[in-house]
């Protein structure tokens, strides 16, 4: 029994492993893109999927020493699917100064993207005899000039060579600027003044709101460090295993130097409706289904993503969607997100739009242009989604031409006449009596046949009347279905019932095909009714959880539905005109 359970468990595990997605993607990142040649950095390689191979790190050895490597794995089981993620953490020490390149690293059949790292020369103060126990360094990018509302990358590093017991860093507040911390504090070790220090690094994104001089004020750190008691020899806490014996706390306070930059206004050559100073900006789109298939009455989802390096999501504009009258647009609420790459904020704005064609044909969706200012190249650029030609197919249930009912008026006399006997005048004198007898018998047969045919026709008509409800009954049933859907605020059921009601109303008009969409039904109503039907259409194709107000819908449309039904009763042919035609 135990062996059977083990086999069943192994089979379940193998089944879950088979269900793991077969794709694998490699993501590479570093904790810092700018270091001194005496510092180290950590390279993180993450693989999502079922890749079992280890990364090939030989390409790193040209410019870096590999100090250590560690690995972690995680598994998740969601909605019947298992996903796995493996991460490798590689500590690197640069072999030289300059701009070094971490090459693309292979993990099985997948490759990561290369990364560049700036390795700076050590400060001349590293060789001083007086070694401070704690000090602050700051860096800013760009160093001298920045554009209004563009990001300034600012980092502050606290170096300490002894045990830090407590501490507090002052808050960064800048006049006429928005300050946003980037990510969590980073901790690592680095060499300064010929000694190894512990480092705490904090990063900020600064967005100046006015042109002119901008001063980043001095930052202060106040805390306590452990020091040796008086009378004990001074020792290096990194090499004295008994350094804590007889030690006490000492309050320390250090300050950074203030920094001043020049903030430039928006250039006169920037022509766009928005001012978007960024290091990089991307505009992409996705379709569902992909490739899109456009058909009357069926929605197609277009997802437009705007992403910028050096701008927050709040600074990104709404993407203007210029449509065509034959295609309705139903935009959803935009989704925004802020992230960072270690130094620069990355704002993302994603907009989903449902496109619902209302008329078959060929149309052009206009191009979408976003003008932005490249702060690295100091010039204006344009991100573009090109114009798209679309072909809208007719609805699958579009009505075909109706054939007229055959006219049976006068058919019976012709058929009866065709059955009348041909009377031939006899040549012999006895034939008139014989012919008269045959004629009388035939006349009796003809009368009986006609009577039976009439009874059969009347019986069939009665059965058809019983099996098919009256037009008024079908219309009233559909109207009650609309009312029930409105009482429940069921938008989907309301659409189905309203289209059924419209089909019943149009059934009495031979030249009026039943409407195939809510847009066609809306043409029968006044402006208030059209607004309610358009709102119903919007809710049905919206991605959000908007609640539909069925009570207001019914109160607006119910009186007009009664008037339209009453007008239809008196019309025998022709199209049903709108209740409130446009003037």
Q: Is the pLDDT confidence value at 115 over 90? A: yes
Higher pLDDT, 38 or 251: 251
Partners of 70 in the β-ladder: 89
Dist CA 55 CA 26 (whole Å):
10
Residue 18: band (very low, low, confident or very high) from pLDDT cuts 50, 70, 90? very low
Residue with token string 């619902």: 356
Q: Which residue would you say has higher pLDDT here, 399 or 110?
A: 110
Q: What are phi and psi of 146, to 5 degrees?
A: -145, 165
Q: Is a pLDDT exceeding 50 seen at residue 421?
A: no
Contact 48, 25 (CB under 8 A): yes
Per the listing, tokens 């069925």 go with: 550
Between 198 and 433, the more confident residue is 198
> Does residue 328 or residue 439 have the better pLDDT?
328
Closest CA to 158 of 257, 255, 225: 255
Report the C-alpha dihedral over residues 515, 519, 524, 529, rounded to 10 degrees: 140
Residue 104 confidence (pLDDT) above 80: yes
How many Å from the N-terminal Cα to the C-terminal Cα in the chain? 84
Higher pLDDT, 171 or 577: 171
pLDDT at 90 over 70: yes
**Band of the pLDDT at 219, cuts 50, 70, 90?**
very high
Over 496-548, what HEC string results? HHHHHHHHHHHCCCCCCCCCCCHHHHHCCCCHHHHHHHHHHHHHHCCCCCCCC
Helix residue ranges per DSSP H, 329-430: 411-419
Predicted confidence at residue 431, as pLDDT, reads 41
d(CA 576, CA 569): 11
Q: How confident is the model at residue 276 (pLDDT cuts 50, 70, 90)?
A: very high
CA–CA distance from 361 to each of 3, 294, 375, 412, 512 (Å)? 66, 10, 44, 49, 21
Residues counted in the chain? 583
Contact 264, 146 (CB under 8 A): yes
Matching CATH number, 15-120, of 2.60.40, 1.10.357, 3.30.1450, 1.10.3470: 2.60.40
Mean pLDDT of 513-538: 83
The answer to whether 159 touches 75, Cβ cutoff 8 Å, is no
pLDDT of residue 82: 65
Domain range 124-264, its CATH number among 2.40.50, 1.10.3470, 3.40.50, 2.60.40: 2.60.40
Q: What is the pLDDT of residue 153?
A: 95
- Averaged pLDDT for residues 474-478: 87
CA distance linking residue 134 with residue 221, whole number of Å = 10
Closest CA to 488 of 480, 345, 157, 132: 480
Architecture of the domain delimited by 277-393: Sandwich (2.60)
Q: Please report which confidence band the pLDDT of residue 198 belongs to, taking 50, 70 and 90 as the band edges.
A: very high
Residue 208 or residue 343, greater confidence: 208
pLDDT of residue 399: 52
Task: Give me the residues paired with residue 552 across strands.
Answer: none
Tell me, rounded to whole angstroms, the distance of Cα 122 from its chain centroid: 46
Measured CA distances, 1 to 10, 14, 15, 44 (Å): 14, 20, 21, 46
Mean pLDDT of 352-362: 92
pLDDT of residue 368: 93
E strands in 170-211: 177-192, 195-208
- The H or E element that residue 158 is part of is strand 152-160
What is the Cα–Cα distance from 403 to 401, expressed in whole angstroms?
7
Asked if the model's pLDDT at residue 173 lies above 90, the reply is: yes
214-235: average pLDDT: 74
Share of the chain above pLDDT 70, in %: 70
**Greater pLDDT, 395 or 514:** 395
Task: For helices 491-506 and 471-487, give the axis angle rounded to 10 degrees.
Answer: 160
Q: How confident is the model at residue 172 (pLDDT cuts 50, 70, 90)?
A: very high
Q: Name which of 123-137, 180-194, 393-407, 435-449 the model is least confident about.
A: 435-449
Distance CA 91, CA 155 (A): 22
Domain residue spans in the chain?
15-120, 124-264, 277-393, 471-569
Kindly state the average pLDDT of the residues 222-250: 56
Q: What is the pLDDT of residue 215?
A: 95
Mean pLDDT of 531-560: 80
According to the model, what pLDDT value does residue 249 have?
A: 73
**3-class SS at 377?**
coil
DSSP 311: B
Q: Are strands 81-94 and 64-78 parallel, antiparallel or unpaired?
A: antiparallel
Residue 296 phi, psi (nearest 5): -55, 130
The least confident of 215-219, 303-307, 510-514, 518-522 is 510-514
Tokens in use for 579? 């209740």
Q: 408-442 burial by CB neighbour count: b if 16+ within 10 A, else e? A: eeeeeeeeeeeeeeeeeeeeeeeeeeeeeeeeeee
Report the pLDDT value the prediction gives residue 192, as an integer from 0 to 100: 83
- Which pLDDT value is given to residue 72? 86
- Measured CA angle at 308 (ends 331, 115), to 5 deg: 135
Mean pLDDT of the chain: 78
pTM for this prediction = 0.56
Cβ-contact 250, 280 below 8 angstroms: no
pLDDT of 564-576, one tens digit each?
877 766 554 444 5
CA dist 344 → 214, 280, 305 (Å): 19, 11, 19
pLDDT of residue 77: 64
Q: What is the pLDDT of residue 208?
A: 96
- 302-317: average pLDDT: 95
Are 321 and 368 in contact by the 8 Å Cβ rule? The answer is yes
Q: Which residues contact 479 (CB under 8 A, 6 or more apart)?
A: 501, 561, 565
Longest CA span, the chain: 169
């Amino acid at each position: 029994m135990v062996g059977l359970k083990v086999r069943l468990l192994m089979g379940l595990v193998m089944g879950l492993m088979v269900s793991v997605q077969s794709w694998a993607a490699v993501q590479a990142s570093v904790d810092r893109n700018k270091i001194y040649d005496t510092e180290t950095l950590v390279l993180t390689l993450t693989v999502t999927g079922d890749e079992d191979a280890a990364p090939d790190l030989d390409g790193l050895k040209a410019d870096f020493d590999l100090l250590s490597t560690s690995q972690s794995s995680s598994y998740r089981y969601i909605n019947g699917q298992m996903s796995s993620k493996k991460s490798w953490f590689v500590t690197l020490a640069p072999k030289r100064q300059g701009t070094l390149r971490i090459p693309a690293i292979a993990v099985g059949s997948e490759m990561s993207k290369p990364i560049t790292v700036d390795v700076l020369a050590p400060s001349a103060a590293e060789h001083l005899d007086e070694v401070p126990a704690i000090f602050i360094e700051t860096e800013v990018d760009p160093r001298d000039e920045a554009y209004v509302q563009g990001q300034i990358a600012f980092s502050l590093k606290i170096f300490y060579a002894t045990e830090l017991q407590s501490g507090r860093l002052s808050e960064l507040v800048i006049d006429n600027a928005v300050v946003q911390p980037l990510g969590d504090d980073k901790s690592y070790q680095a060499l300064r003044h010929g000694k190894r220090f512990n480092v705490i690094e904090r990063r900020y994104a600064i967005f100046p709101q006015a042109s002119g001089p901008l001063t980043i004020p001095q930052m202060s750190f106040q805390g306590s460090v452990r020091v040796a008691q008086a009378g004990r020899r001074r020792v290096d806490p990194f090499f004295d295993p008994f350094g804590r014996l007889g030690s006490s706390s000492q309050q320390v306070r250090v300050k950074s130097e203030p920094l001043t930059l020049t903030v430039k206004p928006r250039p006169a050559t920037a022509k766009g409706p928005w001012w978007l100073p960024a290091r990089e900006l991307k505009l992409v789109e996705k379709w569902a289904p992909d490739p899109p298939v456009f058909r009357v009455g069926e929605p197609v989802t277009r997802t437009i993503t705007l992403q910028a390096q050096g701008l927050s999501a709040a600074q990104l504009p709404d993407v203007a969607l210029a449509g065509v009258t034959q295609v309705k647009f139903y935009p959803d609420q935009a989704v925004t997100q802020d992230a960072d790459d270690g130094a620069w904020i990355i704002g993302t704005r994603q907009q989903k739009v449902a496109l619902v064609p209302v008329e078959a044909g060929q149309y052009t969706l206009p191009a979408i242009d976003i003008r932005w200012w490249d702060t690295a190249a100091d010039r204006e650029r344009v991100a573009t989604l090109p114009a798209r030609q679309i072909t809208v197919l007719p609805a699958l249930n579009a009505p075909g031409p109706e054939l007229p009912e055959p006219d049976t008026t006068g058919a019976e006399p012709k058929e009866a006449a065709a059955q009348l006997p041909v009377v031939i005048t006899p040549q012999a004198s006895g034939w008139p009596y014989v012919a008269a007898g045959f004629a009388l018998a035939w006349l009796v047969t003809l009368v009986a046949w006609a009577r039976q045919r009439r009874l059969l026709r009347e019986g069939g008509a009665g059965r058809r009347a019983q099996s098919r409800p009256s037009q008024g009954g079908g219309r009233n049933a559909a109207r009650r279905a609309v009312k029930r859907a409105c009482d429940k605020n069921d938008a989907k059921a309301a659409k189905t019932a309203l289209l059924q009601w419209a089909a019943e109303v149009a059934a009495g008009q031979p030249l009026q095909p039943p409407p195939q969409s809510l847009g066609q039904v809306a043409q029968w109503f006044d402006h208030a009714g059209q607004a309610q039907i358009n709102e119903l259409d919007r809710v049905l194709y919206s991605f959000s959880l908007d609640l539909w107000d069925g009570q207001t819908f019914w109160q607006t449309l119910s009186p007009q539905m009664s008037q339209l039904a009453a007008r239809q009763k008196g019309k025998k042919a022709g199209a049903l005109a709108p209740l409130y035609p446009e003037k």
